Amino acid sequence: MANIIANLNKAFESRIRLGIMSILSVNASVDFNTMKELLELTDGNLASHIKALEGLNYIQSFKQFIGRKPNTNYSLTESGRQSFKEHLDALETLIK
Amino acid sequence: MQLKVLLILSNKMEKQLEDLKAIREMMEKSSRFLSLSGLSGILAGITATLGAAFAYFFLLRDPAATSFTRIQEIVILMSDALLVLVISIGFGIYFSSKKAHKKDQKLFNKVTMKTLYNLSIPLITGGIISLIFLYRGDVEMVAAITLVFYGLALVNVSKFTFDEIHYLGITEIVLGIAAAIFMHNGILFWTIGFGICHIVYGFVMYKKYDLE
């Protein structure tokens, strides 16, 4: 049992981070505001979790301008996709 | 002691289950247009049936009974079809925005736009082709063309919304091909495709997704 739990990734323990990873795993890229609306979060709260995931190199950001407004898009990195998949697999084995 | 361990384990299990549920929900919510209401399908179906009945009893059943020119006939049929389209879209927006509101979501977001964009490509193509056939006076083929392209549009868009839309699309394509083969019964296939199919699928989807 302990062995199986070890496969769960500590970085994904928070529900918000799980949400971010889930959204990015089914969309090529998603901007900050869309993510904020989907997860029903405040700017600061979402930004801190995004920063953490970026720090782990699980997600990457692209900045661009729409007119004059800066717009940041996020997507999963290869290692983020891999880690999230392993986490999901671990969750599933645990429940079986 | 053992009980305590079991309790902790079952608590953990509970959390994992909840996690999986949340993941699934986020994946769907962020990539699919789920505000589509079954009611709009039912009402679109009823509108289409009424429109087709009007066209049939007023014009197509016995063209000799009326004294319209060919051009006038085409204008009447087109206005009828256009009216059906506008009313159906109106119902679609009304019930979908109501459903979105109930779920505390916005109707128009990125996913909705993506859905509409993918829906409109085959739909507009089909519309233009239909107009070309109409212009050439080939009214009979229009039922088949609208059905086939509408079906293709639905199949194209089904990956962004409910799975039932895929099968509705396939059904419309088959009916469209049938309408092209049995050309003189075009209005019959059109009524089945845009009327009855919408009512049936709308009802199924209303029961499955809206009555929660």
A-chain CB neighbours of B106 within 8 Å are 37
Contact A95 B27 (CB under 8 A): no
Contact B26 A22 (CB under 8 A): yes
Rounded mean pLDDT for each run of 10 residues along chain A, 96 residues in total: 66 88 91 90 92 94 85 92 90 80
Supply the pTM of this predicted model: 0.79
Token pair, residue A17, equals 């981070």
Higher-pLDDT residue of B105 and B4 is B105
pLDDT value at residue B21: 87
pLDDT greater than 70 at residue B197: yes
B109-159: pLDDT as tens digits: 888 988 999 999 999 999 999 999 988 888 889 999 999 999 999 999 998
Mutate to test the interface with A, among B18, B19, B35, B160 (most CBs of A within 10 A): B19
B35-56: pLDDT as tens digits: 899 999 999 999 999 999 999 9
The terminus-to-terminus CA distance of chain A in angstroms comes to 12
pLDDT value at residue B59: 84
**CB-based burial, B135-165: b 16+ in 10 Å, e otherwise:** eeeebebbbbbbbbbbbbbbbbbbebbbebb
| Cα–Cα distance, B202 to A84 (Å, whole number) | 37
B73-115: pLDDT as tens digits: 888 888 999 999 999 999 999 999 999 888 877 888 888 988 9
Contact A5 B29 (CB under 8 A): no
Contact B44, B202 (CB under 8 A): yes
pLDDT value at residue B212: 67
- Alpha-helical (H) ranges within chain B are 2-31, 38-55, 70-102, 110-135, 140-157, 164-181, 186-190, 197-205
A-chain CB neighbours of B33 within 8 Å are none
Across residues B15-42, what is the average pLDDT? 88
- Give me the domains of chain A, ranges plus CATH numbers: 2-95 (1.10.10.10)
Instruction: Provide the ipTM.
Output: 0.79
